[in-house]
Amino acid sequence: MGMLPEYRPDQGEWLCGRCKIPLEQGKVPVFYLNSAFDVILPRCPQCGFTLVPKSLAQGKMLEVESLLEEK
Amino acid sequence: MLDQDSLRRYEAQCTQDSPPQCRINCPFSLDCRAFLTNMACGKLAAARAILERHLPLPHIMALICDHPCEQACLRRDFGGAIALHHLEFSCLAQTTSAERLLPIPPKRHKMAVVGAGLAALTAAWDLSRKSYPVTLFVDGEISELLLCQFPNLEEARAWLEEDLKVLLRKVCVEQKTVTREALVTLAQDFAGVFLDASTHPALAPAEAAVDASTWHWQDGICVAGWRSLSPTGHTYSLPSRQAGQGREAALTMERVAGKLSLTAERKKRYGNLHTDCTQVERVQRLEPQTTQWGCALYSQEEARQEASRCLQCQCLICVENCPYLQKYKGYPKVYARQIHNNATIVKGLHTANALINGCALCDQCSRLCPEHFSMAELCLAAREEMVARGQMPPSAHEFALEDMEQAQSPGAFLTWPKPKPGASPPHWLFFPGCQLSASRGEQVLALFAWLEQKLSGSDQAGLALCLACCGQPAHWAGQRKLFEEQLARLRDVWQEYGKPTILTACASCLAALREGLPDLPVRSVWELVDSLELSDLPKEARFPLPKTFSVHDPCAARDDKGWQKAIRSLAQKLGYTLIEPKCTAETTSCCGYGGLVWCAQPETANSLVADRIAQLPGDVLASCVMCRDRFVAQDKACWHILDLLLPHLAVAGTQRGPGLAQRRYQRSQLKARILGQTIRPEGEEVALASDLAETLEEQHILLSDIITALEQIEAKTLWCLNKTNNHRVGAWRPRKVTFWVEYSKTEHGFLVHDAWCHRMLVPGAGGEDAETVIAREQSSSS
């Protein structure tokens, strides 16, 4: 797990709206254009709600999307 | 599919790779451009290296060459041809050789060269440099034999001796009087034989008896180097001709020895390099102050000046006028190869996707190119192929296609008034286009009303309105099938109305309909308006309009003379003066909206609009609303032709056009207004933090996306809470995009602080249960 890319919230302390418990860093598989890989993201340990921070969406995630679109 | 044959056809159309005239005319294919570039910046050693690489016996040639290069120089008519001959001489006179020949193992085929004319010495020079063992058969001193033909070398004997010294390092000399019988023996003993016709006229056949493309006479014997005959019957030696023949003959000897075809693939075929000389200024050829051995000698500074006059002939006419073509640092021939490779790649990255989707498909290049190379044609075919193979990046055009879908949706699509059974069919069907309806609804209605009243009672009475999209976005996106579906729908509308003439107010619609529905009568509304009496048009202007405009033709109307003429005529009749920019009418430039570049590559689209703006002095008159809005978005004052026709409803030339979200809303609003309905402005309960609207547009996030996301996020509790600022952040994935909204609840609704989106599917973000998403995706991929 230590080798997986990990992304934390941009700032703040986060609670799941549904379960009212703190989000925890956890492994999530993500998918795009027939590719899948695991990342560590803040997520609710109970319901699985997962937060994609803005910096990730507009940074690394966008970069990987473009790369996969060229494959 | 761009197969090898079509690729070659495309490549042959672009002549940028073709050598310039000076090089074509040089029998040694001297890279004159590179030589002069080095001379112009004082890099004499580098310039010398180029001479030594190309020229046989470089000192001798620099002294006596009759320089056919200069006769072909395009500078000739602008102050005189570049003094290439003098510059070559001056370069060699002011430098010493630093040539280091790499040792090459000797080849097994022995070559015999008979004679000591320029052709023979060139053949010996070339063959010995390629490591063929060469024996030179002469009947006397080489230098003396050469001086017989070129007595002016006497003064420069030092240079003559220098070249011969280099030659004789690798060539064996045998003193021998070669007879016809001896020549036959040589042909048996050597793999190739060369006979110099200038020093052995009695042995050589007539020049006409030998094939001029190979100089092969018979049995492995090549002959060349005949002296030339003047019109008055005198013979003389022409160095470039004789040495050039020697070089060609040497090549034949290699092929004879290697038992290869003497003619196949011998000369690379090039198109004629086009060079635009219209802007070239006259600069007089510089005559040097000193001479040496009867040859002009430039000082280094004089040489620099003279070499700087070189036009550096190249085409690039399309590239110079298009920021997109400049972006990838190449030219169409290179791009055609990259696009072909992109389609044929099996593993690895499709790196030309950006090149293919960055073209505005405006086709300016094909109108500027003397060979009519069309990047638009190439890129559109590539897009269609990518779509067919499922390789089109989803992010490229999806948003634009959603916009098209909205324009075709029941909320915005309208035909009005409905065709009545039994009533006489309308003569015209006004098709303003989805973008004009989205930004100029009020003017569309006013023009419709004016036309209806103007035509009533005439034999051309009857006007209906169709608010729809022509399908051009699908065409540009390479979605041929989707484009045809849109066209089929329009054909149905046209038939329902009894086949009226379609009047378009958008050049892209006009182009799409003409291409996709060629049997339908279609013309621009501007031509009809121009044919009518205009005196009853409202005169009172809502804003003061300028009196003079730079006229900008939309790229989609570059071939539409009727459109262009009508716009100019209308402006003139209404009392305005127009200025024609450099690229106008057929060669007009794109604003960056074409080809969906605005969607696929906003930064390329922005460089296109910025480049166009720089060509247009003062306020601009546009006849396409997207051109107009894109200019104004870059702070260039621009007016639409409707502002001139209907000044009481004019939109100020500095007022920005509606954003993406507002366009969609205004399309629906126009339909509602015509039907006498009212629709609620969207998002009354949603407030955006300041400056957020523009950021959202850039990310292609619409207000409607945010509203729907908020509804779902709240209803299904798809949010988490930031305890430090009490903001909620939630996600909704209505289609292949996940929208994130950061917001707070207010008394009246929501305050949106931020929003972002991504295409990647993240389980647990967007509404669907995380475990369900994971199970589905993993099973579909396995």
| ipTM of model | 0.98
pLDDT at position A2 over 80? no
Distance in angstroms (rounded) separating the CA atoms of residues B118 and B238: 9
Q: Which of B353, B722, B770 sits opposite A50 (nearest CB)?
A: B770
> For position B96, what pLDDT does the model report?
93
Q: Which amino acid is at B331?
A: Y
- pLDDT digit string, tens, across residues B70-97: 999 999 999 999 999 999 999 999 999 8
- Contact between B84 and B94 (Cβ < 8 Å): no
Look at A70 and B764 and tell me if their CB atoms are within 8 Å.
no
Task: Using DSSP, state whether B47 is helix, strand or coil.
Answer: helix
The alpha carbon of residue B744 is apart from the nearest alpha carbon of chain A, in Å, by 13
A70, closest residue in chain B (CA to CA): B350
- pLDDT digit string, tens, across residues A4-56: 999 999 999 999 999 999 999 999 999 999 899 999 999 999 999 999 999 99
- Residue written as token pair 């003619």: B263
DSSP state of B555: G
Find residue B552's DSSP bridge partners.
B622
Q: Which amino acid is at B747?
A: E
- Residue written as token pair 């004879």: B256
Look at A62 and B758 and tell me if their CB atoms are within 8 Å.
yes
Distance in angstroms (rounded) separating the CA atoms of residues B562 and B8: 36
Entry field: residues in chain B: 782
The alpha carbon of residue B589 is apart from the nearest alpha carbon of chain A, in Å, by 29
**Long-range contacts of range B158-162, CB-CB < 8 Å, 24 or more positions apart?**
B159/B59, B159/B60, B159/B63, B159/B92, B160/B59, B160/B60, B162/B59
Look at B754 and A54 and tell me if their CB atoms are within 8 Å.
yes
Best of A39, A40, A47, A52 to substitute, by most chain B Cβ atoms within 10 angstroms, is A52
Query: Ramachandran region of residue B164, left (φ > 0), alpha (ψ -120 to 50) or beta?
Result: alpha
* DSSP H helix total and E strand total for chain A: 2, 3
Look at A44 and B719 and tell me if their CB atoms are within 8 Å.
no
- Contact between B774 and B761 (Cβ < 8 Å): no
Best of B758, B761, B771 to substitute, by most chain A Cβ atoms within 10 angstroms, is B758
- Residue written as token pair 């190309």: B54
Q: Which chain A residues are within 8 Å of B777, Cβ to Cβ?
A: 29, 31, 36
CA proximity to B720, closest of B730, B710, B712, B711: B730
Residue spans of beta strands (DSSP E) within B265-388: 290-292, 295-297
User: Which stretches in chain B have pLDDT values below 70?
Assistant: 1, 782
CA proximity to B246, closest of B128, B349, B402, B336: B128
The alpha carbon of residue B621 is apart from the nearest alpha carbon of chain A, in Å, by 38
Distance in angstroms (rounded) separating the CA atoms of residues B716 and B523: 52
Distance in angstroms (rounded) separating the CA atoms of residues B183 and B192: 11
The angle subtended at Cα B215 by Cα B213 and Cα B219, nearest 5°, is 125
Residues on chain A bordering chain B, Cβ-to-Cβ distance under 8 angstroms:
9, 11-18, 23, 28-34, 36, 41, 43-44, 47-52, 54, 57-58, 61-62, 64-67, 69-71
Tell me the pairing of strands B216-218 and B221-224.
antiparallel
Task: Using DSSP, state whether B311 is helix, strand or coil.
Answer: coil
Distance in angstroms (rounded) separating the CA atoms of residues B601 and B358: 6
Distance in angstroms (rounded) separating the CA atoms of residues B676 and B473: 30
Measure Cα distances from B460 to B79, B265, B497, B523, B532 in Å.
62, 65, 14, 14, 12
Q: Which of A43, A62, A67 sits opposite B764 (nearest CB)?
A: A43
Q: With an 8 Å Cβ cutoff, is B98 touching chain A?
A: no
Q: Other CB atoms closer than 10 Å to residue B582's CB: what's the count?
A: 9
Look at A70 and B756 and tell me if their CB atoms are within 8 Å.
no
- Residue written as token pair 């619609």: B509
> For position A1, what pLDDT does the model report?
47
Q: Which of B720, B724, B758 sits opposite A61 (nearest CB)?
A: B758
Q: Which of A31, A49, A71 sits opposite B720 (nearest CB)?
A: A49
Q: Other CB atoms closer than 10 Å to residue B168's CB: what's the count?
A: 14
Q: With an 8 Å Cβ cutoff, is B723 touching chain A?
A: yes
> Tokens representing B43?
């890099």
Best of A31, A32, A63 to substitute, by most chain B Cβ atoms within 10 angstroms, is A31
Distance in angstroms (rounded) separating the CA atoms of residues A33 and B395: 12
Q: Which amino acid is at B376?
A: A
Look at A12 and B723 and tell me if their CB atoms are within 8 Å.
yes
Distance in angstroms (rounded) separating the CA atoms of residues B616 and B553: 11
Look at A50 and B729 and tell me if their CB atoms are within 8 Å.
no
Look at B764 and A12 and tell me if their CB atoms are within 8 Å.
no
Give B611's contacts (C-beta < 8 A, 6+ positions apart). Answer: B322, B323, B589
Q: Other CB atoms closer than 10 Å to residue B565's CB: what's the count?
A: 14
* CA count, 13 A, side-chain hemisphere, B619: 21
Look at A36 and B781 and tell me if their CB atoms are within 8 Å.
yes
Q: Other CB atoms closer than 10 Å to residue B559's CB: what's the count?
A: 13
The angle subtended at Cα B583 by Cα B582 and Cα B585, nearest 5°, is 120
Q: Which chain B residues are within 8 Å of A70, Cβ to Cβ?
A: 349-351, 353, 393
CA proximity to B362, closest of B186, B589, B150, B76: B589
Predicted TM-score (pTM) of the model is 0.89
Helix, strand, coil: what percent of chain A each, to 5?
25, 35, 45
CA proximity to B777, closest of A29, A66, A48: A29
Entry field: residues in chain A: 71
Find residue B579's DSSP bridge partners.
B550
Look at A15 and B765 and tell me if their CB atoms are within 8 Å.
no
Best of B701, B720, B756 to substitute, by most chain A Cβ atoms within 10 angstroms, is B720
Look at B717 and A66 and tell me if their CB atoms are within 8 Å.
no
Query: Ramachandran region of residue B712, left (φ > 0), alpha (ψ -120 to 50) or beta?
Result: alpha
A-B CB pairs within 8 A amount to: 115
Look at B729 and A41 and tell me if their CB atoms are within 8 Å.
no
Distance in angstroms (rounded) separating the CA atoms of residues B573 and B594: 30
Give contacts of B 736-765 with A, CB under 8 A: 738, 740, 742, 754, 756-765
* Burial letters B591-616, b for 16+ CB under 10 A, else e: bbbbbbbbbbbeebbbbbbebbbeeb
> Tokens representing A32?
């795009």
Look at B760 and A32 and tell me if their CB atoms are within 8 Å.
yes
The alpha carbon of residue A1 is apart from the nearest alpha carbon of chain B, in Å, by 18
DSSP state of B76: G
Three-state secondary structure string covering B145-211: HHHHHCHHHCCCHHHHHHHHHHHHCCEEEEECCCCHHHHHHHHHHCCEEEEECCCCCCCCCCHHHCC
| N-to-C CA span, chain A | 27
**Quick one: B677 exposed, middle or buried, by C-beta within 10 A (0-12, 13-18, 19+)?**
exposed
> For position B116, what pLDDT does the model report?
95
For residues B656, B658, B661 and B667, what is the CA-based torsion angle, rounded to 10 degrees?
-170
